[in-house]
Amino acid sequence: EAGVAQSPRYKIIEKRQSVAFWCNPISGHATLYWYQQILGQGPKLLIQFQNNGVVDDSQLPKDRFSAERLKGVDSTLKIQPAKLEDSAVYLCASSRLRVVNTGELFFGEGSRLTVL
Amino acid sequence: AQTVTQSQPEMSVQEAETVTLSCTYDTSENNYYLFWYKQPPSRQMILVIRQEAYKQQNATENRFSVNFQKAAKSFSLKISDSQLGDTAMYFCALCLIQGAQKLVFGQGTRLTINP
């Protein structure tokens, strides 16, 4: 089966500009996650969707970050305006059901953002 | 809140040696899952092994095994007969069974297998 697709792979922007990342999960996967991975750190969950509803967005900086998952399939993560500290790899992951039912998240290759 | 700590930022061993990566965690819950994920230089993270907290028997997957000490909140990963392809970042992660079931990751250990 096809894996989790993400684009773009790399993006360089100036601070205060906006950027959007796209994720297409594995077909049939109900749960979709966006993680932020800053260099040298472990991934941090930004938002979790179950179908097209938000399950957890407690660590999403809502003043500048937004995410949507229309029709419960692909998802877009937007940052506006970007700050220097947003430089990171943004990982999208999906799972068929809830994590403990399947025991596994499937990750995309990530989108690396550099904010200058 | 749940926390996961990996105290070894980097490790390096020779090919065919055995290496153990450490992980400790903190949670007040009793029901949870623990995972080790591998992130090769290409950045696509993959599951290595998982452990259900209610199981006393340590999980094994071929050359990978864990030492799960629930009372000590310790979850180490042992890689036997290490191979060059094991070179990667390794992340320990915790997931509560209740609630949103989000994975909380440690900071990672960069493992290098030398020929």
- Per-residue pLDDT of B16-44, as tens digits, reads 999 999 999 999 988 899 999 999 987 78
Q: Which residues of B touch A110 (CB under 8 A)?
A: 43-44
Q: What is the pLDDT of residues B57-85, one digit of tens each?
A: 999 999 999 999 999 999 999 999 999 99
Query: Measured between alpha carbons, how far is A58 from B7 in angstroms, rounded to an integer?
Result: 26
Q: What is the pLDDT of residues A29-49, one digit of tens each?
A: 988 999 999 988 899 999 999
Q: What are phi and psi of A85, to 5 degrees?
A: -70, -5
Of B55, B100, B6, B49, the closest CA to residue A31 belongs to B100
pLDDT of the residue at A100: 59
Q: Which residues of B touch A105 (CB under 8 A)?
A: 45, 47, 103
pLDDT of the residue at A105: 85
Give the nearest partner residue to A45 out of B42, B45, B103, using CB atoms. Answer: B103
Does the beta-carbon distance from A43 to B105 stay under 8 Å? yes
For chain B, the helix, strand and coil percentages under 3-state DSSP, each to the nearest 5? 5, 55, 45
Q: What is the pLDDT of residues A23-34, one digit of tens each?
A: 999 998 988 999
Query: Measured between alpha carbons, how far is A76 from A110 in angstroms, rounded to an integer?
Result: 13
